[in-house]
Amino acid sequence: MKVTIAGAGGYLGEHIVRAALAEGHDVVAIVRSGSSAKFPSSVRRLEGDLHEAAYVADALADCEAAIFAAGRNFKPDLPLDQYLAQNVELTKIFFNAISSSNPSARVIFTSSMSAMAGSLEPLVFNETSGRAHVCVARLNAYDRAKVACEQLAREAGAAGRNVVILNPGLMLGPGASVNSSVSSALLLQWFCLKRFPIMVACGGHSVCDVRDVARAHVAALTEGHGQYILGGENIDALQLYDLMSEQTGIRRPPRAPLWLVSALVTTLDAASALTFGWLRSPLHRDFVRSQPLFYWGSSDRATCELHYRRRPLTQTIRDTIADFVGRGLVPSDLRFAASITDENRDALLLFSELARSHIHRTHLLPRLPEILAACRQNHELAAALDTALSGACYDHARGRFHWTGDRPEAALGRLRRLLDYCYYASDEFRERMS
The DSSP line for 202-259 is --EEEEEEHHHHHHHHHHTTTS--EEEEE--EEEEHHHHHHHHHHTT-PPPPPB--HH
The pLDDT averaged over each successive group of 10 residues in the chain (434 residues) is 94 95 95 85 90 91 94 76 86 94 94 96 96 94 93 95 96 88 88 89 94 98 96 96 95 89 80 71 77 96 96 95 93 91 95 94 93 95 96 94 94 96 85 74
Q: Within 13 Å and on the Cβ side, how many CA atoms surround 368?
A: 30
Closest CA to 285 of 305, 304, 263: 263
The H-assigned helical ranges of 43-201 are 53-60, 81-85, 88-101, 141-158, 186-192
The residue type found at 28 is V
CA distances from 72 to 10, 80, 132, 214, 277 (A): 9, 11, 27, 18, 21
* pLDDT for 201: 82
pTM of the model: 0.92
Give the three-state DSSP class for 11. helix
- Both ends of the chain: CA-CA distance in Å? 63
The DSSP line for 49-95 is -TT-HHHHHHHHTT-SEEEE--S----TT--THHHHHTTHHHHHHHH
CA distances from 256 to 66, 198, 199, 202, 212 (A): 44, 6, 6, 10, 33
* pLDDT for 277: 66
How big is the CA angle at 433 (ends 432 and 434), to the nearest 5 degrees?
A: 95
Give the span between the Cα atoms of 349 and 389, in whole angstroms: 10
